[in-house]
Chains A and B, each alone.
Chain A
Amino acid sequence: MPIDFPNSPANGATFSTGDKTWQFDGVSWVLVASNASIGNSAITEAKIADGAVTADKIGALAVTTGKIDSNAVTAGKIASNAVTEAKIDASAVTTAKIADANITAAKLAATAAIQPTIVDAKGDLIVGTANDTVARQAVGANGTVLMADSAQTNGIAWSAAQTSYRNRIINGAFDVWQRGTSYTIVSGTYGAADRWIYWHNGSTAGTQTVSRQAFTAGAAPVAGYESAFFQRITTTTIGSGQGVIDTWQRIEGVRTLAGQTVTVSFWAKTSGTFSVTSFLVQNFGSGGSAETTTTFIPTTSTTTGWVRYTGTATLPSLSGKTIGANNFVLLIVRWNSPTNGATFDLWGAQVEAGSVATPFEVEDYSTTLAKCQRYYYKSYSDGTNPGSPVTATYGGLVPTSIVDSGVSTYSPGYFSYPVAMRTSPTLTYYDAAGNLSKFSTLTGGGLARTDNVGAVYSLYTSTSSGFYIALPGAGTWANIMIVAAAEL
Chain B
Amino acid sequence: MSNKYYLATSGYVVNAEGSWIPPEPANTDYQAYLAWVAEGNTAEEWNPDAD
B4 to chain A: closest CB distance in Å? Answer: 14
Contacting pair A455 B48 (CB below 8 A): yes
Give the distance in Å from the alpha carbon of A436 to the alpha carbon of B20 in the complex: 12
> Within the complex, which residue of B17, B25, B26, B31 is in contact with A428, where a contact is CB–CB below 8 Å?
B17
A423 contact set on B, CB distance < 8 A: 24, 26-27
Number of interface residues of A (CB under 8 A): 28
B6 to chain A: closest CB distance in Å? Answer: 11
Asked if A166 CB lies within 8 Å of chain B CBs, one says: no
Asked if A194 CB lies within 8 Å of chain B CBs, one says: no
Name A365-423 residues within 8 Å CB distance of B: 422-423
Contacting pair A425 B22 (CB below 8 A): yes
Contact A459 B8, CB 8 Å, known A425-B22, A437-B18: yes
Contact A460 B10, CB 8 Å, known A428-B17, A436-B17, A454-B48: yes
> Within the complex, which residue of B10, B18, B30 is in contact with A436, where a contact is CB–CB below 8 Å?
B18
Name B4-51 residues within 8 Å CB distance of A: 8-12, 17-22, 24-31, 46, 48-51
Give the distance in Å from the alpha carbon of A460 to the alpha carbon of B19 in the complex: 13
A459 contact set on B, CB distance < 8 A: 8, 10, 12, 20, 22
Contacting pair B20 A455 (CB below 8 A): no
Contacting pair B8 A458 (CB below 8 A): yes
Give the distance in Å from the alpha carbon of A1 to the alpha carbon of B50 in the complex: 155
Contact A426 B26, CB 8 Å, known A456-B48, A458-B12: no
Contact A487 B28, CB 8 Å, known A458-B12, A458-B48, A460-B11: yes
A462 contact set on B, CB distance < 8 A: 12, 22, 24
Contacting pair B10 A458 (CB below 8 A): yes
B30 to chain A: closest CB distance in Å? Answer: 8
Asked if A86 CB lies within 8 Å of chain B CBs, one says: no
0/1 per residue, A415-459, Cβ < 8 Å to B?
000000011111111000000110000000000000000111111
A460 contact set on B, CB distance < 8 A: 8, 10-12
Asked if A240 CB lies within 8 Å of chain B CBs, one says: no
The main secondary structure of chain B at its interface with chain A is loop
A461 contact set on B, CB distance < 8 A: 10
Asked if A326 CB lies within 8 Å of chain B CBs, one says: yes
> Within the complex, which residue of A326, A457, A486, A487 is in contact with B48, where a contact is CB–CB below 8 Å?
A457
Give the distance in Å from the alpha carbon of A331 to the alpha carbon of B17 in the complex: 29
Give the distance in Å from the alpha carbon of A485 to the alpha carbon of B21 in the complex: 10
B51 to chain A: closest CB distance in Å? Answer: 7
Contact A488 B28, CB 8 Å, known A454-B48, A458-B12: yes
> Within the complex, which residue of B9, B18, B28 is in contact with A326, where a contact is CB–CB below 8 Å?
B28
Which of chain A's residues has its CB closest to B50's CB? A455
Asked if A300 CB lies within 8 Å of chain B CBs, one says: no
Asked if A472 CB lies within 8 Å of chain B CBs, one says: yes
B31 contact set on A, CB distance < 8 A: 286, 326
Give the distance in Å from the alpha carbon of A429 to the alpha carbon of B46 in the complex: 16
Contacting pair A458 B24 (CB below 8 A): no
Contact A424 B48, CB 8 Å, known A459-B8, A460-B12, A488-B28: no
B19 contact set on A, CB distance < 8 A: 426-428, 485
Which of chain B's residues has its CB closest to A410's CB? B48
A453 to chain B: closest CB distance in Å? Answer: 11
A328 to chain B: closest CB distance in Å? Answer: 11
Give the distance in Å from the alpha carbon of A460 to the alpha carbon of B20 in the complex: 10
Asked if A75 CB lies within 8 Å of chain B CBs, one says: no
Which of chain A's residues has its CB closest to B15's CB? A426
Asked if A46 CB lies within 8 Å of chain B CBs, one says: no
Give the distance in Å from the alpha carbon of A422 to the alpha carbon of B11 in the complex: 20
Give the distance in Å from the alpha carbon of A326 to the alpha carbon of B30 in the complex: 12
0/1 per residue, A450-488, Cβ < 8 Å to B?
000011111111100001000010000000000001111
Which of chain A's residues has its CB closest to B27's CB? A423
Contacting pair A325 B26 (CB below 8 A): yes
Contacting pair A326 B26 (CB below 8 A): yes
A386 to chain B: closest CB distance in Å? Answer: 11
Most buried by A among B8, B18, B51: B18
Which of chain B's residues has its CB closest to A458's CB? B10
B29 to chain A: closest CB distance in Å? Answer: 4
A241 to chain B: closest CB distance in Å? Answer: 22
Q: Told that A325-B25, A425-B27, A426-B21 touch, could you supply 15 new A-B pairs with CB distance under 8 A?
A: A423-B26, A424-B26, A426-B22, A426-B29, A428-B18, A429-B18, A436-B18, A454-B48, A455-B50, A455-B51, A457-B48, A458-B10, A459-B20, A460-B8, A485-B19
A-B contact pairs, 9 of them (CB 8 A): A423-B26, A424-B27, A426-B19, A429-B20, A455-B48, A458-B9, A467-B22, A472-B48, A487-B28
B residues adjacent to A (C-beta < 8 A): 8-12, 17-22, 24-31, 46, 48-51
